[in-house]
Homo-oligomer: A and B are copies of this chain.
Amino acid sequence: MLTLFHGWRSSASRRVRLCLAEKGLAFESRTVDLTKMEHHKPEFLKLNPNGVIPLLILDDGRSLYESGTICEYLDETHPDPPLRPDDPYQRALMRNWIRHVDERIINLIVFNWAHSMAKVAQQWSDAELAEKLKSVPSKERREAWIRAARKPYTEEERGEARAKLVQMLDRMEDMLKPAGWLVGGRYSIADIAVVPFIKRIDEEIAPDQVTAAKHPRVFAWWTAIQARPAFAVAKIGSFTDS
């Protein structure tokens, strides 16, 4: 059986859970509490020296990290139902779209970390914060923790991040024109990759933009996504009720 180390609210984890659900694959769920920095603790680093979730442990004990890579691996090893386009050019577009979305994760962090991450981090003393930052491997994530703990993002910064996310909706609106799906004329990992973004834009960041009036194709796509049985199985819940 597969084992997944993940977080219920982690965007990358949500992608992998959705992919597993579409494939009908069961897994042993091992949650990692990011507010307790469990992903930077020695026990977890032994499994994944990069200190990131999700981490998928295969039947034979080998492991894989990086959500886009995991989803493509799952599709290669469990091809039914297919979650990648058959055409190599469309597969290339799928990979570039996943990368495009990945590169915009900071705009989501600005909003997402203002919830439980900030609430916990704001309680730390300066000494505790300094100690915890030592275990965070990337500069970008250290900065995000400092912002969560001490310098909440300003309204201007939130506005800029929101604008970037709305640009993604504009781009999706164009991409959805031919067939209602992002690439290759059918539902694929390209769609799955952006689901955690749209969920958050729709529930908190810019709900007025995920509407039939503003982005009609995105709205129809999002309605279709949420109606899929896998969406319920993947438990992509709300950030705001807790």
Q: Which residues of B contact A99 (CB under 8 A)?
A: 66, 69
The answer to whether A95 and B76 have CB atoms under 8 Å apart is no
Total interface residues in chain A, CB < 8 Å: 19
Copy number of this protein in the oligomer?
A: 2
CB distance from A168 to the nearest CB of B (A): 14
The answer to whether B96 and A65 have CB atoms under 8 Å apart is yes
Can you name the residue of chain B whose Cβ is closest to the Cβ of A68? B95
- In the complex, chain A residues 77-123 whose Cβ is within 8 Å of any chain B Cβ: 77, 88-89, 91-92, 95-96, 99
The answer to whether B73 and A88 have CB atoms under 8 Å apart is yes
In the bound complex, how far is the Cα of B90 from the Cα of A69, in angstroms? 11
A-B contact pairs, 24 of them (CB 8 A): A58-B89, A62-B89, A64-B89, A64-B92, A64-B96, A65-B96, A66-B95, A66-B96, A66-B99, A68-B95, A69-B92, A69-B95, A69-B96, A69-B99, A70-B92, A72-B92, A72-B95, A73-B88, A73-B89, A73-B91, A73-B92, A76-B88, A76-B91, A77-B88
